Amino acid sequence: MARLRNAVLSLAALTLAAAVWLPCLHLFFTPPAALWHSTSGLPPRARELAERQLHLWTEAGSRRQEIERMRRSNAEWDFMGRTFLVWSLAEMALREPAEQARYLPVMDTIITETLRLEREHGQAFFLMSYARGPAYVEQPMRSLFVDGEIALMLAARRLVAEQAEYRPLLRARVAVLLERMQRNPRLIAESYPDECWLFDHAVALVALRAADRLDGSDHAAFIRTWLDGAKKNLTDPVTGLLHSSFNTKGAARDGPEGSTIWMAAHLLRAVDADFARDQYRRARRELGRTLFGFGWSREWPRTWRGPLDVDSGLVIPVVDASVGASGMALIGASSFGDAAYLRALQTSLEFAAFPIRAHGQLKYGASNQVGDAALLYACVLGPLWERLQEPHP
Protein backbone atom coordinates (compact mmCIF):
# COMPACT_ATOMS: atom_id res chain seq x y z
CA MET A 1 0.00 0.00 0.00
CA ALA A 2 2.85 2.36 0.81
CA ARG A 3 4.43 1.74 -2.60
CA LEU A 4 1.10 2.31 -4.33
CA ARG A 5 0.54 5.53 -2.43
CA ASN A 6 4.03 6.77 -3.37
CA ALA A 7 3.47 5.87 -7.01
CA VAL A 8 0.17 7.75 -7.06
CA LEU A 9 1.75 10.78 -5.40
CA SER A 10 4.66 10.71 -7.86
CA LEU A 11 2.29 10.51 -10.82
CA ALA A 12 0.22 13.36 -9.41
CA ALA A 13 3.37 15.45 -8.92
CA LEU A 14 4.51 14.80 -12.48
CA THR A 15 1.05 15.66 -13.82
CA LEU A 16 1.00 18.89 -11.85
CA ALA A 17 4.52 19.78 -12.98
CA ALA A 18 3.59 19.13 -16.61
CA ALA A 19 0.43 21.22 -16.25
CA VAL A 20 2.55 24.13 -15.02
CA TRP A 21 5.58 23.60 -17.22
CA LEU A 22 4.13 22.85 -20.65
CA PRO A 23 2.12 26.09 -21.01
CA CYS A 24 5.31 28.01 -20.10
CA LEU A 25 7.76 26.12 -22.33
CA HIS A 26 7.14 28.28 -25.38
CA LEU A 27 8.34 31.36 -23.48
CA PHE A 28 11.92 30.08 -23.78
CA PHE A 29 11.65 29.88 -27.58
CA THR A 30 9.30 32.68 -28.64
CA PRO A 31 11.53 35.23 -30.41
CA PRO A 32 10.93 38.97 -30.02
CA ALA A 33 8.77 40.18 -32.92
CA ALA A 34 11.47 42.64 -34.05
CA LEU A 35 13.83 39.74 -34.83
CA TRP A 36 11.52 38.47 -37.58
CA HIS A 37 9.63 41.55 -38.76
CA SER A 38 10.54 44.98 -40.05
CA THR A 39 8.51 47.52 -42.02
CA SER A 40 11.70 48.64 -43.79
CA GLY A 41 15.04 47.01 -44.38
CA LEU A 42 15.68 43.47 -43.22
CA PRO A 43 14.85 42.12 -39.78
CA PRO A 44 17.80 40.42 -38.03
CA ARG A 45 16.66 36.83 -38.68
CA ALA A 46 16.17 37.58 -42.37
CA ARG A 47 19.62 39.12 -42.62
CA GLU A 48 21.22 36.06 -41.03
CA LEU A 49 19.34 33.73 -43.36
CA ALA A 50 20.19 35.93 -46.34
CA GLU A 51 23.90 35.96 -45.52
CA ARG A 52 23.91 32.17 -45.55
CA GLN A 53 22.09 32.03 -48.89
CA LEU A 54 24.35 34.65 -50.47
CA HIS A 55 27.40 32.77 -49.23
CA LEU A 56 26.22 29.63 -50.99
CA TRP A 57 25.92 31.47 -54.30
CA THR A 58 29.27 33.21 -54.03
CA GLU A 59 31.18 30.16 -52.75
CA ALA A 60 30.98 27.52 -55.45
CA GLY A 61 32.20 24.66 -53.30
CA SER A 62 29.62 25.21 -50.57
CA ARG A 63 26.83 25.57 -53.11
CA ARG A 64 27.79 22.41 -54.97
CA GLN A 65 27.86 20.39 -51.76
CA GLU A 66 24.45 21.69 -50.64
CA ILE A 67 22.83 21.17 -54.05
CA GLU A 68 24.19 17.65 -54.39
CA ARG A 69 22.81 16.81 -50.96
CA MET A 70 19.34 18.03 -51.94
CA ARG A 71 19.34 16.41 -55.36
CA ARG A 72 20.02 13.02 -53.79
CA SER A 73 16.58 13.36 -52.18
CA ASN A 74 14.70 15.42 -54.73
CA ALA A 75 15.90 17.29 -57.82
CA GLU A 76 12.92 19.64 -57.43
CA TRP A 77 14.48 21.08 -54.28
CA ASP A 78 17.47 22.32 -56.27
CA PHE A 79 15.10 24.16 -58.61
CA MET A 80 12.75 25.52 -55.95
CA GLY A 81 15.70 26.67 -53.85
CA ARG A 82 16.71 28.86 -56.78
CA THR A 83 13.17 30.17 -57.20
CA PHE A 84 12.60 31.05 -53.55
CA LEU A 85 15.97 32.76 -53.35
CA VAL A 86 15.37 34.86 -56.48
CA TRP A 87 11.98 35.93 -55.12
CA SER A 88 13.57 36.71 -51.75
CA LEU A 89 16.37 38.75 -53.32
CA ALA A 90 13.80 40.72 -55.30
CA GLU A 91 11.97 41.59 -52.10
CA MET A 92 15.26 42.43 -50.38
CA ALA A 93 16.37 44.66 -53.26
CA LEU A 94 13.14 46.64 -52.95
CA ARG A 95 13.48 46.85 -49.17
CA GLU A 96 17.11 47.95 -49.40
CA PRO A 97 17.67 49.87 -52.65
CA ALA A 98 21.22 50.74 -51.58
CA GLU A 99 22.07 47.00 -51.61
CA GLN A 100 20.78 46.29 -55.13
CA ALA A 101 24.32 46.23 -56.47
CA ARG A 102 24.90 43.22 -54.23
CA TYR A 103 21.59 41.41 -54.69
CA LEU A 104 20.91 41.81 -58.42
CA PRO A 105 24.10 40.08 -59.64
CA VAL A 106 23.25 37.03 -57.53
CA MET A 107 19.76 36.97 -59.05
CA ASP A 108 21.32 37.14 -62.52
CA THR A 109 23.76 34.35 -61.68
CA ILE A 110 20.95 32.08 -60.51
CA ILE A 111 18.77 32.82 -63.54
CA THR A 112 21.62 32.40 -66.02
CA GLU A 113 22.78 29.11 -64.53
CA THR A 114 19.23 27.76 -64.33
CA LEU A 115 18.60 28.56 -67.99
CA ARG A 116 21.92 26.95 -68.94
CA LEU A 117 21.11 23.75 -67.09
CA GLU A 118 17.66 23.60 -68.68
CA ARG A 119 19.20 24.13 -72.12
CA GLU A 120 21.92 21.52 -71.65
CA HIS A 121 19.99 18.82 -69.78
CA GLY A 122 16.32 19.49 -70.51
CA GLN A 123 13.55 20.24 -68.04
CA ALA A 124 13.72 16.73 -66.56
CA PHE A 125 16.99 17.77 -64.89
CA PHE A 126 14.89 19.66 -62.32
CA LEU A 127 12.23 16.97 -61.93
CA MET A 128 11.91 13.75 -59.97
CA SER A 129 12.87 10.57 -61.79
CA TYR A 130 9.35 9.50 -62.76
CA ALA A 131 9.17 12.44 -65.16
CA ARG A 132 11.25 10.19 -67.43
CA GLY A 133 8.78 7.32 -67.08
CA PRO A 134 5.31 7.17 -68.68
CA ALA A 135 4.82 9.56 -71.56
CA TYR A 136 3.27 12.94 -70.95
CA VAL A 137 -0.25 13.24 -72.33
CA GLU A 138 0.74 16.38 -74.22
CA GLN A 139 3.76 16.18 -76.48
CA PRO A 140 6.44 17.28 -76.72
CA MET A 141 7.07 16.97 -72.99
CA ARG A 142 7.08 20.22 -70.99
CA SER A 143 6.61 20.86 -67.28
CA LEU A 144 4.45 23.75 -66.10
CA PHE A 145 6.44 23.57 -62.86
CA VAL A 146 9.67 24.51 -64.65
CA ASP A 147 8.18 26.97 -67.14
CA GLY A 148 6.14 28.83 -64.54
CA GLU A 149 8.90 29.28 -62.00
CA ILE A 150 11.45 30.38 -64.60
CA ALA A 151 8.91 32.90 -65.91
CA LEU A 152 8.33 34.30 -62.44
CA MET A 153 12.07 34.46 -61.72
CA LEU A 154 12.54 36.54 -64.88
CA ALA A 155 9.58 38.73 -63.99
CA ALA A 156 10.72 39.28 -60.40
CA ARG A 157 14.14 40.43 -61.61
CA ARG A 158 12.56 42.86 -64.08
CA LEU A 159 10.11 44.20 -61.51
CA VAL A 160 13.06 45.33 -59.41
CA ALA A 161 15.13 46.79 -62.25
CA GLU A 162 14.60 46.33 -65.97
CA GLN A 163 16.97 43.94 -67.69
CA ALA A 164 16.59 44.21 -71.47
CA GLU A 165 17.86 40.70 -72.23
CA TYR A 166 15.17 39.17 -70.02
CA ARG A 167 12.30 40.89 -71.83
CA PRO A 168 12.12 38.50 -74.82
CA LEU A 169 12.85 35.53 -72.55
CA LEU A 170 9.83 36.33 -70.38
CA ARG A 171 7.58 36.89 -73.37
CA ALA A 172 8.62 33.56 -74.89
CA ARG A 173 8.07 31.72 -71.62
CA VAL A 174 4.64 33.33 -71.13
CA ALA A 175 3.69 32.26 -74.66
CA VAL A 176 4.63 28.68 -73.75
CA LEU A 177 2.56 28.82 -70.55
CA LEU A 178 -0.50 30.01 -72.42
CA GLU A 179 -0.09 27.57 -75.30
CA ARG A 180 0.22 24.57 -73.01
CA MET A 181 -2.70 25.51 -70.76
CA GLN A 182 -4.94 26.42 -73.70
CA ARG A 183 -4.42 23.00 -75.25
CA ASN A 184 -6.69 21.64 -72.53
CA PRO A 185 -10.34 22.77 -72.38
CA ARG A 186 -9.93 23.04 -68.59
CA LEU A 187 -6.90 25.33 -69.04
CA ILE A 188 -4.62 23.01 -67.08
CA ALA A 189 -1.19 21.69 -68.00
CA GLU A 190 1.06 18.89 -66.84
CA SER A 191 4.04 19.20 -64.55
CA TYR A 192 4.55 15.43 -64.55
CA PRO A 193 2.94 12.76 -66.75
CA ASP A 194 -0.82 13.27 -66.40
CA GLU A 195 -0.19 15.27 -63.18
CA CYS A 196 -1.28 18.89 -62.93
CA TRP A 197 -0.44 20.75 -59.71
CA LEU A 198 -2.26 23.67 -58.11
CA PHE A 199 1.02 25.20 -56.91
CA ASP A 200 2.37 25.36 -60.46
CA HIS A 201 -0.81 26.85 -61.93
CA ALA A 202 -0.82 29.53 -59.24
CA VAL A 203 2.78 30.41 -60.14
CA ALA A 204 1.85 30.53 -63.84
CA LEU A 205 -1.07 32.89 -63.19
CA VAL A 206 1.19 35.26 -61.24
CA ALA A 207 3.73 35.14 -64.08
CA LEU A 208 0.96 36.19 -66.50
CA ARG A 209 -0.04 39.01 -64.17
CA ALA A 210 3.58 40.11 -63.91
CA ALA A 211 3.93 40.11 -67.70
CA ASP A 212 0.89 42.39 -67.92
CA ARG A 213 2.47 44.75 -65.38
CA LEU A 214 5.80 44.79 -67.18
CA ASP A 215 4.90 44.69 -70.87
CA GLY A 216 1.37 46.03 -71.11
CA SER A 217 -0.16 42.72 -72.23
CA ASP A 218 -3.62 41.73 -71.01
CA HIS A 219 -4.22 38.23 -69.68
CA ALA A 220 -7.02 39.28 -67.34
CA ALA A 221 -9.74 37.37 -69.22
CA PHE A 222 -7.68 34.15 -69.26
CA ILE A 223 -6.90 34.45 -65.56
CA ARG A 224 -10.54 35.11 -64.71
CA THR A 225 -11.69 32.11 -66.77
CA TRP A 226 -9.11 29.88 -65.08
CA LEU A 227 -10.18 30.98 -61.62
CA ASP A 228 -13.87 30.49 -62.42
CA GLY A 229 -13.12 26.95 -63.59
CA ALA A 230 -11.00 26.19 -60.53
CA LYS A 231 -13.69 27.39 -58.13
CA LYS A 232 -16.21 25.19 -59.87
CA ASN A 233 -14.22 22.07 -60.73
CA LEU A 234 -10.99 21.90 -58.72
CA THR A 235 -12.37 22.47 -55.21
CA ASP A 236 -12.95 19.92 -52.47
CA PRO A 237 -16.73 19.96 -51.79
CA VAL A 238 -16.30 19.33 -48.04
CA THR A 239 -13.67 21.91 -47.05
CA GLY A 240 -13.94 24.33 -49.96
CA LEU A 241 -10.16 24.13 -50.37
CA LEU A 242 -8.57 23.69 -53.78
CA HIS A 243 -7.24 20.24 -54.62
CA SER A 244 -3.47 20.05 -54.63
CA SER A 245 -3.24 18.00 -57.84
CA PHE A 246 -5.45 16.68 -60.63
CA ASN A 247 -5.09 14.82 -63.89
CA THR A 248 -5.45 16.29 -67.36
CA LYS A 249 -9.19 15.57 -67.29
CA GLY A 250 -9.57 17.68 -64.15
CA ALA A 251 -10.21 14.76 -61.78
CA ALA A 252 -8.61 15.17 -58.36
CA ARG A 253 -5.48 13.08 -57.73
CA ASP A 254 -4.74 14.57 -54.30
CA GLY A 255 -7.15 16.50 -52.14
CA PRO A 256 -6.27 19.63 -50.15
CA GLU A 257 -2.73 19.53 -48.76
CA GLY A 258 -0.96 21.94 -46.45
CA SER A 259 2.29 21.67 -48.40
CA THR A 260 0.43 23.23 -51.34
CA ILE A 261 -2.49 25.38 -50.21
CA TRP A 262 -0.66 27.89 -48.00
CA MET A 263 1.68 28.92 -50.81
CA ALA A 264 -1.06 28.77 -53.43
CA ALA A 265 -3.22 31.13 -51.37
CA HIS A 266 -0.31 33.56 -51.11
CA LEU A 267 0.25 33.46 -54.88
CA LEU A 268 -3.42 33.87 -55.70
CA ARG A 269 -3.42 37.20 -53.86
CA ALA A 270 -1.90 38.67 -57.03
CA VAL A 271 -4.85 37.66 -59.21
CA ASP A 272 -7.90 37.38 -56.91
CA ALA A 273 -7.34 38.79 -53.43
CA ASP A 274 -10.78 37.88 -52.08
CA PHE A 275 -10.58 34.27 -53.25
CA ALA A 276 -7.02 34.01 -51.92
CA ARG A 277 -8.06 35.25 -48.48
CA ASP A 278 -10.99 32.84 -48.44
CA GLN A 279 -8.62 29.95 -49.20
CA TYR A 280 -6.27 31.11 -46.44
CA ARG A 281 -9.09 31.29 -43.89
CA ARG A 282 -10.26 27.82 -44.82
CA ALA A 283 -6.72 26.46 -44.58
CA ARG A 284 -6.29 28.15 -41.21
CA ARG A 285 -9.46 26.48 -39.94
CA GLU A 286 -8.81 23.04 -41.43
CA LEU A 287 -5.03 22.77 -41.12
CA GLY A 288 -3.59 25.41 -38.79
CA ARG A 289 -3.05 24.37 -35.18
CA THR A 290 -1.64 25.97 -32.02
CA LEU A 291 -1.11 24.57 -28.52
CA PHE A 292 0.77 26.01 -25.55
CA GLY A 293 2.21 28.79 -27.71
CA PHE A 294 3.54 26.46 -30.43
CA GLY A 295 2.10 26.38 -33.96
CA TRP A 296 2.09 23.88 -36.80
CA SER A 297 0.14 22.83 -39.86
CA ARG A 298 -1.52 19.54 -40.64
CA GLU A 299 -0.84 18.16 -44.10
CA TRP A 300 -4.46 17.11 -44.61
CA PRO A 301 -7.85 18.14 -43.22
CA ARG A 302 -9.59 15.62 -40.99
CA THR A 303 -12.02 14.77 -43.80
CA TRP A 304 -9.33 13.61 -46.21
CA ARG A 305 -5.99 11.89 -45.85
CA GLY A 306 -3.52 11.25 -48.62
CA PRO A 307 -0.26 9.36 -48.93
CA LEU A 308 2.95 10.77 -47.53
CA ASP A 309 5.22 12.18 -50.21
CA VAL A 310 8.42 14.18 -50.44
CA ASP A 311 6.51 17.49 -50.18
CA SER A 312 4.80 16.47 -46.95
CA GLY A 313 8.07 15.73 -45.23
CA LEU A 314 7.97 14.16 -41.80
CA VAL A 315 4.47 14.05 -40.29
CA ILE A 316 4.43 13.76 -36.50
CA PRO A 317 1.74 11.31 -35.34
CA VAL A 318 -1.13 12.25 -33.02
CA VAL A 319 -0.92 16.00 -33.76
CA ASP A 320 -0.37 15.36 -37.51
CA ALA A 321 2.22 18.14 -37.72
CA SER A 322 3.78 18.22 -41.17
CA VAL A 323 7.23 19.75 -41.59
CA GLY A 324 6.58 20.73 -45.21
CA ALA A 325 3.12 22.15 -44.54
CA SER A 326 4.32 24.08 -41.47
CA GLY A 327 7.09 25.69 -43.52
CA MET A 328 4.60 26.81 -46.15
CA ALA A 329 2.25 28.01 -43.41
CA LEU A 330 4.90 30.56 -42.40
CA ILE A 331 4.61 32.07 -45.89
CA GLY A 332 0.80 32.04 -45.75
CA ALA A 333 0.63 33.61 -42.30
CA SER A 334 3.15 36.28 -43.27
CA SER A 335 1.36 37.06 -46.52
CA PHE A 336 -2.03 37.47 -44.88
CA GLY A 337 -0.83 39.27 -41.76
CA ASP A 338 -1.89 36.51 -39.35
CA ALA A 339 0.44 37.70 -36.57
CA ALA A 340 -0.68 35.30 -33.81
CA TYR A 341 -0.35 32.16 -35.94
CA LEU A 342 2.92 33.40 -37.45
CA ARG A 343 4.41 33.92 -34.00
CA ALA A 344 3.37 30.44 -32.90
CA LEU A 345 4.94 28.93 -36.02
CA GLN A 346 8.17 30.84 -35.43
CA THR A 347 8.24 29.58 -31.85
CA SER A 348 8.04 26.00 -33.11
CA LEU A 349 10.78 26.76 -35.60
CA GLU A 350 13.13 27.99 -32.88
CA PHE A 351 12.25 25.01 -30.67
CA ALA A 352 12.41 22.14 -33.14
CA ALA A 353 14.36 23.14 -36.26
CA PHE A 354 17.80 23.45 -34.59
CA PRO A 355 19.06 26.90 -35.61
CA ILE A 356 22.80 26.99 -36.35
CA ARG A 357 24.59 30.34 -36.35
CA ALA A 358 28.15 31.10 -37.43
CA HIS A 359 29.86 34.20 -38.83
CA GLY A 360 26.62 36.16 -39.02
CA GLN A 361 24.89 33.40 -40.98
CA LEU A 362 21.90 31.26 -40.02
CA LYS A 363 20.75 27.89 -41.23
CA TYR A 364 18.44 25.32 -39.66
CA GLY A 365 19.75 21.85 -38.95
CA ALA A 366 16.36 20.28 -39.65
CA SER A 367 16.12 22.08 -43.00
CA ASN A 368 18.15 22.47 -46.19
CA GLN A 369 18.82 25.24 -48.72
CA VAL A 370 15.32 25.28 -50.19
CA GLY A 371 13.73 25.21 -46.74
CA ASP A 372 15.89 28.08 -45.52
CA ALA A 373 15.23 30.05 -48.71
CA ALA A 374 11.49 29.63 -48.15
CA LEU A 375 11.90 30.85 -44.56
CA LEU A 376 13.81 33.87 -45.83
CA TYR A 377 11.00 34.57 -48.28
CA ALA A 378 8.44 34.46 -45.46
CA CYS A 379 10.50 37.10 -43.62
CA VAL A 380 10.82 39.60 -46.47
CA LEU A 381 7.79 39.21 -48.75
CA GLY A 382 5.73 42.32 -49.40
CA PRO A 383 7.27 45.05 -51.60
CA LEU A 384 7.45 42.88 -54.72
CA TRP A 385 3.76 42.01 -54.44
CA GLU A 386 2.86 45.66 -54.01
CA ARG A 387 4.77 46.49 -57.17
CA LEU A 388 3.08 43.65 -58.99
CA GLN A 389 -0.30 45.30 -58.36
CA GLU A 390 0.73 48.63 -59.88
CA PRO A 391 -0.55 49.39 -63.41
CA HIS A 392 1.75 49.11 -66.41
CA PRO A 393 3.93 52.24 -66.52
Q: Which residues contact 214 (CB under 8 A, 6 or more apart)?
A: 155, 158, 159, 167, 170, 392
Q: By the 8 A CB rule, do 298 and 258 touch?
A: yes
* Residues present in the chain in total: 393
Q: Which residues contact 259 (CB under 8 A, 6 or more apart)?
A: 244, 299, 311, 312, 313, 322, 324, 325, 328
In sequence order, the β-bridge partners of residue 254 are 245
- pLDDT score at 21: 44
Q: List pLDDT tens digits, range 159-216.
A: 999 999 999 999 999 999 999 999 999 999 999 999 999 999 999 999 999 999 999 9
- pLDDT score at 31: 77
Mean predicted lDDT score pLDDT of the chain = 90
- pLDDT score at 285: 97
Q: CA 19, CA 37: separation in Å to the nearest integer?
A: 32
- pLDDT score at 17: 44
- pLDDT score at 66: 81
Per-residue pLDDT of the chain (393 residues; tens, 9 = 90+): 667 666 555 555 545 544 554 465 555 567 788 888 888 889 999 999 999 999 999 887 777 888 887 787 788 989 999 999 999 999 999 999 999 999 999 999 999 999 999 999 999 999 999 998 889 999 999 999 999 999 999 999 999 999 999 999 999 999 999 999 999 999 999 999 999 999 999 999 999 999 999 999 999 999 999 999 999 999 999 999 999 999 999 999 999 999 999 999 999 999 999 999 999 999 999 999 999 899 999 999 988 777 666 666 667 776 788 889 999 999 999 999 999 999 999 999 998 888 999 999 999 988 889 999 999 999 999 999 999 988 888
Q: By the 8 A CB rule, do 227 and 237 touch?
A: no
- pLDDT score at 40: 80
Distances (CA, A) of 151 to 46, 177, 271, 318: 25, 9, 16, 40
Q: CA 231, CA 342: separation in Å to the nearest integer?
A: 27
Which runs of E-coded beta strand occur in 105-238? 196-197
Q: By the 8 A CB rule, do 369 and 52 touch?
A: no
- pLDDT score at 27: 54
| Neighbouring C-beta atoms of residue 267, cutoff 10 Å | 24
- pLDDT score at 287: 97
- pLDDT score at 4: 62
Q: pTM, whole model, 2 decimals?
A: 0.92
